[in-house]
Amino acid sequence: MTTIACGLLLIGAFLYVFWPEKNVEAQHQKTRLEFLRERREVLFDNLRDLNFEYRSGKYPEEDYASQRAMLENEAAETVAEIDLLESDAFAPQHG
């Protein structure tokens, strides 16, 4: 009896999560700026995690340096693109 109830609950949860939305056009579409802001936060979280793991001895110096450089470069590119898009959004429009 418990197995049947668990199976029905599993099927119900699966249908709830994966049932397709009927009104896809009404869903919010992310702008490039929103995507970049989310990406920036993920990169900063990854840098914090990397620093923590390095300090706790989980990363050798060489791996830490290469991973940190890669994350910092990607974060810098992301921040630069955010700045560019924000400056374009707030720039006066000439017409």
d(CA 32, CA 29): 10
Q: Classify residue 46 as exposed, middle or buried by CB count within 10 Å of its CB (0-12, 13-18, 19+).
A: middle
Three-state SS string across 68-86, please?
HHHHHHHHHHHHHHHHHHH
**What would the pLDDT profile of 37-83 be if each residue is shown by its tens digit?**
999 999 999 999 999 999 999 989 999 999 999 999 999 999 999 99
What 86-90 contacts at long range (C-beta under 8 Å, 24+ apart), as own/partner pairs, is 86/33, 89/33
**Residue 90 · residue 37 · CB < 8 Å:** no
Res 93 pLDDT > 70: no
